Amino acid sequence: MRAVVLADVNRLEVRDVPSPAPDRHEVRVRVAAVGLCGTDLHIVAGHANYNRDARGRVIPFAEEPQILGHEIAGVVEDVGRDVSDLRAGERVVIDQGRNCVSEHRTPLCEYCATGDSHQCELYREHGITGLPGGFADYVTIPAVNAVRLESELDAAEAALAEPLACVVHSTALLMRADARYSLAGNGQAVRTAIVCGAGPSGLLFVQYLRRVLGFQGLLLVIEPNARRRALAERFGAETIDPVTTDAADAVRVRTHGRGAELAIEASGSGPALAGLPRLIRKQATVLLYGHGHEGVDASVLNLLQFMEPRLVSPAGASGGFGPDGRPTVYVDALRLIEQGKVEVAPLITHRYRSLDAVPNAFAGDHRLPEYVKGVVLL
């Protein structure tokens, strides 16, 4: 099969590689669409490498080239001999994470046993931790990692079930533990929520808060890009342009000096991270969702820590498992898209029609002012 291989930092090559046949509990999926994620951009640029050996040592790309891509929708091509609930031709989205349940391990580790599958003690991830991902003709995965579509949803939209699942998981963490200010109805209610960054994840947070959780308070989005601000407003937020105004001053005006009880950092911007203390109330909740934060050191956290916020730091789309072993968070996210409760089509601004287009997609399209989300179609 053909695949886009990351052979070194900023070096993507289209190559012929083997396509593993499915083992007894696996399926091979023909990739139909795969989203371009900020995590992919960080890995290609050399800012991150999550492929490590048994001692935790980073394995260089030149030593073990990687096939990235973890937001995957496709069609079942063939199934292992013990797979009875999927058949060739069925359309699916993929949970890229391998955990105790998907690998049929017993007993379950403590994380899988409590529904925190993304923290499985033996967790590995297609397209992120070295296992081959979706920038390829096929991907072979555990059968329970394939979630069947129940509609004629466009494959590009279906691929965004993965980032929405991460948002669903993150918001569940916000609502799980005790906090001074709550979205869940216990304690004092969150009056103002701020989302820093209106990239794909920030826009999904806006929709999830408004349309799924029914949040009725003031929802502010801080975003310099005009197109993204327009989308945030379409989905029910008020916006602030940090280029033309001081964001913290604008928040103070709109909250009558109170500040926000909830801040979601979804930008990965170093200045945004450094600016959080000026946006929030003491003992607010801060969700650290974005990654990267270049240009700042850990000292920017000093003022934040002084305010005693509740810090929540999610990773991936953890959750429980259904009776068939499938990941409930992915199922929930896919159904939200299929039912039209969360719109993802307006986020997709760039569609790439072949694997050959992938290297150019990473060459700078994501920096264009009209870019929000790219998806590769095969």
Q: For residues 194 and 130, state if they share a domain.
A: no
Distance CA 336, CA 82 (A): 30
Specify the pLDDT at position 292.
Answer: 81
Specify the pLDDT at position 101.
Answer: 96
Amino acid at 319: G
pLDDT higher than 80, residue 185: no
Distance CA 24, CA 142 (A): 9
Distance CA 30, CA 19 (A): 10
Query: Which residues lie closer than 8 Å to 105 by C-beta, 6 or more apart?
Result: 122
The CATH number covering residue 86 comes to: 3.90.180.10
What would the pLDDT profile of 324-357 be if each residue is shown by its tens digit? Answer: 999 999 999 999 999 999 999 999 999 999 999 9
What would the pLDDT profile of 63-98 be if each residue is shown by its tens digit? Answer: 999 999 999 999 999 999 999 999 999 999 999 999
* DSSP percent split of the chain into helix, strand, coil, nearest 5: 30, 25, 45
Q: For residues 181 and 154, state if they share a domain.
A: no
The CATH number covering residue 290 comes to: 3.40.50.720
Q: For residues 95 and 174, state if they share a domain.
A: no
Q: For residues 290 and 360, state if they share a domain.
A: no
Q: For residues 198 and 242, state if they share a domain.
A: yes
What would the pLDDT profile of 141-150 be if each residue is shown by its tens digit? Answer: 999 999 999 9
Q: For residues 41 and 142, state if they share a domain.
A: yes
Specify the pLDDT at position 176.
Answer: 75
Q: For residues 178 and 63, state if they share a domain.
A: no
Specify the pLDDT at position 291.
Answer: 84
What mean pLDDT is reported for the chain? 95
Q: Which of 2-6, 222-226, 335-339, 360-364 has the lowest mean pLDDT?
A: 360-364
Average pLDDT score over residue span 29-43: 96
Q: For residues 118 and 228, state if they share a domain.
A: no
- How many independent structural domains does the chain possess? 2
DSSP 8-state class, residue 61: T
Query: Which residues lie closer than 8 Å to 54 by C-beta, 6 or more apart?
Result: none
Is 370 among the domain residues? Answer: yes
Q: Using H for helix, E for strand and C for coil, what is the string for 34-60?
A: EECCHHHHHHHCCCCCCCECCCCCECC
Is 320 among the domain residues? Answer: no
Is 146 among the domain residues? Answer: yes
Exposure of 152 by Cβ count < 10 A (0-12 exposed, 13-18 middle, 19+ buried)? exposed
Is 334 among the domain residues? Answer: no
pLDDT category of residue 293 using cuts at 50, 70 and 90: confident
pLDDT category of residue 296 using cuts at 50, 70 and 90: confident
Is 206 among the domain residues? Answer: yes
H-only helix segments in the chain: 38-44, 110-113, 155-158, 161-176, 200-207, 226-234, 247-254, 270-275, 301-306, 328-338, 358-361
Q: For residues 46 and 152, state if they share a domain.
A: yes
R_g over Cα of the chain: 20
Is 325 among the domain residues? Answer: no
Specify the pLDDT at position 295.
Answer: 81
CA end-to-end distance (rounded Å), the chain: 12
Domain endpoint, select from 293, 312, 331: 312
pLDDT category of residue 177 using cuts at 50, 70 and 90: low
Distance CA 276, CA 281 (A): 10
Q: Which of 46-60, 82-96, 174-188, 310-324 has the lowest mean pLDDT?
A: 174-188
Length of the chain: 378
Distance CA 130, CA 107 (A): 25
Q: For residues 87 and 178, state if they share a domain.
A: no
Q: For residues 302 and 204, state if they share a domain.
A: yes
Is 176 among the domain residues? Answer: yes
pLDDT category of residue 136 using cuts at 50, 70 and 90: very high
Q: Which residues constitute the domain of residue 150?
A: 2-160+344-377
User: Over pLDDT 70: what percentage of the chain?
Assistant: 100
Q: For residues 182 and 282, state if they share a domain.
A: yes
Is 333 among the domain residues? Answer: no
Amino acid at 252: R
